[in-house]
């Protein structure tokens, strides 16, 4: 969709970006404590009664669908910790205008639900998988069981999800020596590995700087393995990823580099937190709560236009690397609270 075609009823910001994609955090809770996402202990979760109900999420999405939102991603926290996610998906997929519903999951609870979620209307799937070594996987996720996640991946392949994307957050000294193993996974399986730069969200500290790896490292590894990556275009749906394929491979891989080379100019995303805040940008603290406007369609529309109208041109994650001051207030929420 280009800006020229956008009608007044679409969510177009002051930089001409059309917003047709909503990421919904259905819970801030999680069964894991990944090192880049949450502290080991002491994480404060919202009481469940503050979470939007299914009914309220459906209402918000219905209004947004009327303003041109077409794609949804359910995330969290761990979305499969929320009871009855299949019922929510079925209701969301019945909303006029919604064309695509994706899920980002840590994969621990997915296998037994693979078919049910697909029947409910789930169209696309991302599984987070930061290591292929059981000990290291458990260390990064602080308690995750690699065997369960691999079983979920196989269940997803058997059930016919396509595309299946694997999210890999690269971290120095933790999993950056596994790049080759991840790349090899794409040779015979129709998987798309998304290498993601470690982002300084809600905890911009020295720990982040020490772990950050620029994603050009992946292309360097390919060359070192004697494999020239071929550009693969946007083979697997929308997104900001630069995609490649190893020659003759069934699958592909992509680089998502929000820090070293941001893709804000083409950002089409809005976020909705579990407690009902609309966030036009992942990075900044600006957010607007929908709860006072539930039951009032034009009030909700006003709120979304206000949020979009104040969306900044870009985030400033890279300034954390150089130590420069940010031009406004970065969020103190963690990724699990925003919906990564």
Q: Note the residues at the interface with ligand SF4 (CB under 6 A).
A: 30, 32-34, 37-38, 76-78, 106, 128, 141, 335-336
- Among ligand SF4, ligand SAM, none, what does residue 198 contact (CB within 5–8 Å per kind)? ligand SAM
Smallest separation (angstroms) from ligand SF4 to the CB of 129: 11
- The bridge status of strand 191-197 relative to strand 269-272 is unpaired
Out of 211, 254, 280, 340, point to the residue binding ligand SAM (CB under 6 A): 340
Residue of 8, 57, 86 lying closest to 274 (CA atoms): 57
- Alpha-carbon distance of 155 to 320, in angstroms, equals 40
Out of 201, 272, 294, 317, point to the residue binding ligand SAM (CB under 6 A): 201
Strand order through the sheet with 252-256:
230-231, 242-245, 252-256, 191-197, 164-170, 124-128, 100-105, 71-75, 21-25, 269-272, 277-279, 288-289
105 binds ligand SAM (CB under 6 A): yes
36 binds ligand SAM (CB under 6 A): yes
Smallest separation (angstroms) from ligand SF4 to the CB of 130: 9
240 binds ligand SAM (CB under 6 A): no
106 binds ligand SAM (CB under 6 A): yes
254 binds ligand SAM (CB under 6 A): no
156 binds ligand SAM (CB under 6 A): no
The total number of residues shown for the chain amounts to 340
Smallest separation (angstroms) from ligand SAM to the CB of 212: 9
331 binds ligand SAM (CB under 6 A): no
Q: Which parts of 67-133 fold into alpha helices (H)?
A: 85-93, 114-120
198, 213 contact by CB (below 8 A) = yes
Q: In this complex, which beta carbon is closest to ligand SAM, that of residue 68 or of residue 76?
A: 76
- Alpha-carbon distance of 273 to 66, in angstroms, equals 20
Smallest separation (angstroms) from ligand SAM to the CB of 30: 6
334, 38 contact by CB (below 8 A) = yes
Q: In this complex, which beta carbon is closest to ligand SF4, that of residue 59 or of residue 78?
A: 78
Out of 10, 24, 76, 287, point to the residue binding ligand SAM (CB under 6 A): 76
163: preceding bond cis by omega (within 30 degrees) = yes
Q: Which parts of the chain fold into alpha helices (H)?
A: 54-66, 85-93, 114-120, 134-141, 146-159, 179-188, 206-211, 216-224, 297-309, 318-322, 335-338
Contacts with ligand SAM, residue ranges (CB under 6 A): 30, 36-37, 75-76, 78, 104-106, 128, 167, 169, 196, 198-199, 201, 335-336, 340
């Amino acid at each position: 969709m280009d800006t020229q075609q956008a009608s007044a009823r679409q969510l177009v910001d002051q930089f001409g970006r059309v917003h047709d994609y909503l990421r919904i955090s259905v819970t801030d809770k999680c069964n894991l404590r990944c090192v880049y996402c949450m502290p080991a202990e002491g994480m404060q979760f919202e009481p469940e009664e503050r979470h939007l109900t299914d009914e309220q999420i459906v209402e918000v999405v219905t209004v947004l669908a009327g303003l041109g939102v077409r794609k949804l991603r359910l995330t969290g926290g761990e979305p499969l910790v929320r009871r009855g996610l299949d019922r929510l998906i079925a209701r969301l997929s019945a909303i006029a205008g919604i064309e695509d519903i994706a899920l980002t999951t840590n994969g621990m609870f997915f296998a037994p639900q693979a078919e049910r979620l697909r029947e409910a209307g789930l169209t696309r799937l991302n599984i987070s998988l930061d290591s292929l070594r059981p000990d290291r996987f458990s260390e990064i996720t602080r308690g995750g069981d690699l065997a369960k996640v691999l079983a979920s991946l196989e269940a997803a392949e058997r059930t016919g999800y396509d595309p299946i994307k694997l999210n890999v957050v690269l971290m120095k000294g933790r999993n950056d020596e596994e790049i080759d193993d991840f790349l090899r996974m794409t040779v015979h399986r129709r998987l798309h590995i998304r290498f993601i730069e470690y982002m300084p969200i809600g905890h911009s500290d020295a720990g982040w700087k020490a772990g950050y790896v620029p994603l050009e490292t992946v292309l360097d590894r390919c060359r070192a393995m004697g494999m020239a990556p071929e550009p693969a275009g946007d083979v697997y749906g929308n997104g900001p990823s630069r995609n490649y394929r190893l020659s003759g491979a069934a699958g592909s891989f992509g680089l998502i580099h929000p820090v070293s080379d941001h893709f804000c100019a083409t950002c089409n995303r809005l976020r909705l937190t579990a407690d009902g805040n609309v966030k036009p940008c992942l990075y900044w603290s600006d957010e607007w709560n929908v709860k006072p406007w539930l039951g009032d369609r034009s009030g909700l529309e006003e709120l979304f236009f206000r949020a979009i109208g104040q969306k900044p041109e870009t985030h400033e994650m890279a300034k954390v690397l150089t130590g420069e001051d940010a031009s406004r207030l970065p969020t103190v929420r963690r990724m699990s609270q925003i919906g990564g």
